[in-house]
Amino acid sequence: MNQHQLKKALSPLPLGDVRYFDSIGSTNNEALAWATSGAKDLSLVIADEQTAGRGRLDRKWFTPKGTALALSLILRPTAAEKLYLTRIVGLAALAATDSLRTRGLVSQIKWPNDVLLNGRKVAGILVESVWSGEEVDGLVIGIGMNVLKGAVPSDGLLFFPATSLEESLGPLVEREKVLHDILAGMIALRPHLSSDSFIASWEKALAFRGEQVQVEQGDGSLLTGKLLGLESDGSLRLTDEQSKSITVRFGDVRLRPRA
Ligand code: BT5
């Protein structure tokens, strides 16, 4: 990553400290350790390559050198924000979709943590917490985005098809500028975290709204229903075939295969 461009892109933002790595295991691991040892609010870890990038449930996230964004932003939530921590994944997802919209691309959020472009995964989000006793003392918002085609893993490694910004925008897309826009988006959205309009925007960006979906829950069981929207804590709202409402807190959504 071009250091000069990176500095220039980040300089207008009110960040804490910034740690840049040409190569690292996982930016989230670095950020979690840093948050534990006192990192300031809005400190950032960014890497050009991850050798042990993580998704949820110990899944792997691939970040080949020179092709993608791998960032972890540390938040020190205020007392007011602590009431809305389950919305933070939406903050990241909305900032990512906004950064694509400014480039003329319409993307969607596959609940809870994937950003889709043309129905394919272009970014993934992993939010993790640092605790101090019973309280969350820090949050790490990890975002991986495929910028160039080389970031996209081969199909055999994926559960869901993937894409890159290059596939829609050509090879000239600048990682540093996309990074700036995602961070600026999160910073701008943060004061609205508690608002109804925040949930409304998040809901509007959801993939498969009004469609029959399957949700694979943490224990592997499958739930089927029509995807309606979000609860105020960011849980997913569905209705089953008997029109009974269902709320899902953890899981992976996919379109229900047609019978
Ligand atoms: C995610 O998990 O999508 C969260 C990914 C978060 C990555 C960021 S990068 C910066 C920070 N540091 C980290 O170590 N992590 C965060 P999940 O929904 O569990 O999806 C994981 C699945 O996505 C994998 O099992 C693969 O099938 C697929 N996958 C892996 N790499 C991918 C890529 N580059 N593009 C698209 N899909 C990918």
Ligand 1 atom closest to residue 151's alpha carbon, by position in its atom list: 34
Per residue in 36-87, pLDDT tens? Answer: 999 999 999 999 999 999 999 889 999 999 999 999 999 999 999 999 999 9
CB of 251 shorter than 6 A to ligand 1: no
CA distance 167 to 159: 20
The mean predicted confidence, pLDDT, of the chain is 95
CB of 192 shorter than 6 A to ligand 1: no
Q: What is the pLDDT of residue 40?
A: 98
Percent of the chain with pLDDT over 70: 99
Ligand 1 centroid from CA 124, angstroms: 5
**pLDDT grade, residue 256 (50/70/90)?**
confident
| This model's pTM is above 0.95 | yes
CB burial string 84-122: b at 16+ within 10 A, e below: bbebbbbbbbbbbbbbbeeeeeebbbbbbbbbbbeebbb
Looking up tokens 């949050």 gives 139
Q: What is the pLDDT of residue 258?
A: 66
Per residue in 87-130, pLDDT tens? Answer: 999 999 999 999 999 999 999 999 999 999 999 999 999 999 99
